[in-house]
């Protein structure tokens, strides 16, 4: 049951107001709650919508540890898949990146959809305040000592006074947008293609992920469980899912996979189909007085390196630790260094995701790039040092 937040016209107080109930906002709320810090989460969408959203699924070891710390790992520990490595296929070649032997740890495959459901269930079972379908959310006065957030719900206006505001509202949210232009620097790099993703109740092609640099473009065979596949093909960003009936998608995927995987592919009706653009985007800094940005609100990476969700929860944990140090010990330094320390991690992930995208996708009419890609992929296949670089970045354990 959700606790009462406020009646129309009434001003309520919370130590931290969190805008957005994605993985970053929900995890932040849960970690703060466990430390005795009061939060209210304001979410634009309905609970049903948020819990059904299909997105990422590869978790770094650090993310798994954070979900355990947040006491939301029970279902993950029961249902998740552990992957000791993944495969990169290219032309006639193929290499397996052995994460465990090269970087010392596996990755965990567990859907962002499940993580979101686990976090919402945990917040609500602890009587946490999440206001779904909160409209016209506006962070105010965050450069002074008395930040506040206003919103509308069921046609009524509400106001929450707080110490801090956490902008966890994704790339199209209100938090970053309300920062004055002269206070923020934006860095962006886009490519003219996206990923067409299909979720299907079909067994995965193999036990581990297959990243394939096909002559016709990139493809990825991923999964959510032994019975549920998540597969992608590179498509022009201008395409729409309607242009890709299931049969066309499966035919194209098969053409882009190595022979053994193409032969093992089992197809079925799509449960979900969407196109995600591929872009890198970073906003600096990530703090503006009492307003802190976390997750996609501050940065976006192409999904190739499986970093978006992992970065979002890392930001949430860093912000939780800084706020806990502030409330428990009166320390300001962790809050003051939040932006700088997050951005170091963010730029490492941006670099890796950009590099891995450039290595495995087709860039039209660019025969020179294609030759370089193959030379570098052959180098990775032949060199333990080069494979180690990939493995370390993939599991997110680079200091």
Chain contacts with ligand FAD (rule: CB under 6 A): 19-25, 42-45, 50, 55-56, 112, 134, 137, 168-170, 173-174, 274, 276, 295-296, 303, 306-309, 312
Active site (annotated) includes residue 259: no
We find the least distance from the C-beta atom of residue 9 to ligand FAD, in angstroms, to be: 21
Nearer to ligand FAD, 294 or 335 (CB): 294
Nearer to ligand FAD, 17 or 102 (CB): 17
Nearer to ligand FAD, 140 or 374 (CB): 140
Nearer to ligand FAD, 106 or 170 (CB): 170
Q: Which of 307, 326, 327, 338 is catalytic?
A: 307
Nearer to ligand FAD, 351 or 369 (CB): 351
We find the least distance from the C-beta atom of residue 154 to ligand FAD, in angstroms, to be: 15
- CA distance linking residue 184 with residue 205, whole number of Å: 44
We find the least distance from the C-beta atom of residue 252 to ligand FAD, in angstroms, to be: 18
Active site (annotated) includes residue 307: yes
Q: Which of 110, 147, 158, 211 is catalytic?
A: 211
We find the least distance from the C-beta atom of residue 317 to ligand FAD, in angstroms, to be: 13
Residue burial 330-354, b: 16+ Cβ < 10 Å; e: rest? eeeebbeebbeebbebbebbbebbb
We find the least distance from the C-beta atom of residue 371 to ligand FAD, in angstroms, to be: 28
We find the least distance from the C-beta atom of residue 397 to ligand FAD, in angstroms, to be: 16
Active site (annotated) includes residue 361: no
For the record, the structure tokens of 71 come out as 């006491």
Active site (annotated) includes residue 344: no
Nearer to ligand FAD, 259 or 344 (CB): 344
We find the least distance from the C-beta atom of residue 263 to ligand FAD, in angstroms, to be: 25
Q: Which of 83, 158, 299, 326 is catalytic?
A: 83
Nearer to ligand FAD, 213 or 299 (CB): 299
Query: Which of these, 193, 168, 156, 382, lies nearest to 293 by C-alpha position?
Result: 168
What HEC string does the chain produce?
CCCCCCCCCCEEEEEEEEECCCHHHHHHHHHHHHCCCCEEEECCCCHHHHHHCCCCCEECHHHHHHHHHCCCCHHHHHHCEEECEEEEEECCEEEEEEHHHHHCCCEEECCHHHHHHHHHHHHHHCCCEEECCCEEEEEECCCCCCCEEEEEECCEEEEEEEEEEEECCCCCCCCHHHCCHHHCEEEEEEEEEEEEEEEECCCCCCCCCEEEEECCEEEEEEEEECCEEEEEEEEECCCCHHHCCHHHHHHHHHHHCCHHHHHHCCCCCEEEEEEEEEEEEEEECCEECCEEECHHHCEECCHHHCCHHHHHHHHHHHHHHHHHHHHHHCCCHHHHHHHHHHHHHHHHHHHHHHHHHHHHCCCCCCHHHHHHHHHHHHHHHHCHHHHHHHHHHHHCCCC
Active site (annotated) includes residue 147: no
- CA distance linking residue 150 with residue 160, whole number of Å: 6
> Which residues are part of the catalytic machinery?
83, 211, 303, 307, 394
């Amino acid at each position: 049951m959700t606790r009462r937040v406020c009646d129309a016209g009434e001003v309520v107080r919370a130590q931290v107001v969190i805008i957005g109930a994605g993985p970053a906002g929900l995890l932040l709320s849960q970690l703060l709650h466990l430390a005795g810090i009061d939060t209210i989460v304001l979410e634009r969408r309905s609970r049903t919508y948020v819990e059904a959203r299909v997105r990422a699924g590869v978790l770094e070891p650090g993310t798994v540890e954070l979900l355990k710390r947040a006491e939301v790992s029970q279902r993950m520990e029961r249902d998740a898949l552990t992957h000791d490595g993944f495969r990169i296929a290219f032309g006639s070649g193929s290499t397996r990146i052995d994460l465990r032997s090269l970087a010392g740890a596996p990755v965990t495959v567990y859907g962002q959809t499940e993580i979101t459901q686990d976090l919402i269930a945990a917040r609500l079972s602890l009587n946490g305040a999440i206001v779904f379908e909160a409209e016209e959310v506006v962070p105010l006065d965050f450069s002074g000592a008395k930040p506040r957030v206003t919103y509308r719900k069921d046609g009524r206006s509400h106001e929450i006074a707080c110490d801090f505001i956490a902008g966890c509202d994704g790339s199209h949210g209100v938090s970053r947008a309300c920062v004055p232009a002269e206070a923020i620097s934006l860095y962006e790099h886009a490519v003219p293609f996206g990923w067409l993703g299909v979720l299907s109740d079909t067994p995965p092609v193999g036990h581990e992920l297959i990243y394939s640099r096909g002559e016709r473009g990139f493809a990825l065979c991923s999964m959510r469980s032994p019975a549920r596949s998540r597969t992608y093909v590179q498509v022009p960003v201008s395409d729409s899912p309607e242009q890709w009936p299931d049969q066309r998608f499966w035919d194209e995927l098969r053409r882009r996979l190595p022979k053994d995987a193409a032969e093992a592919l089992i197809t079925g009706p799509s449960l979900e189909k969407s196109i995600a653009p591929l872009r890198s985007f970073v906003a600096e800094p990530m703090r503006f007085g009492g307003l802190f940005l976390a997750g996609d609100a501050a940065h976006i990476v192409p999904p190739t390196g499986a970093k978006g969700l992992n970065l979002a929860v890392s930001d949430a944990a860093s912000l939780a630790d800084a706020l806990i140090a502030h409330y428990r010990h009166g320390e300001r330094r962790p809050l003051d260094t939040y932006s700088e320390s997050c951005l170091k991690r963010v730029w490492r992930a941006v670099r890796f995701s950009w590099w891995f995208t450039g290595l495995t996708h087709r860039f039209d009419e660019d025969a020179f790039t294609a030759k370089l890609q193959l030379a570098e992929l052959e180098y990775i296949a032949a060199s333990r040092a080069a494979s180690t670089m990939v493995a370390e970045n993939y599991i997110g354990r680079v200091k």
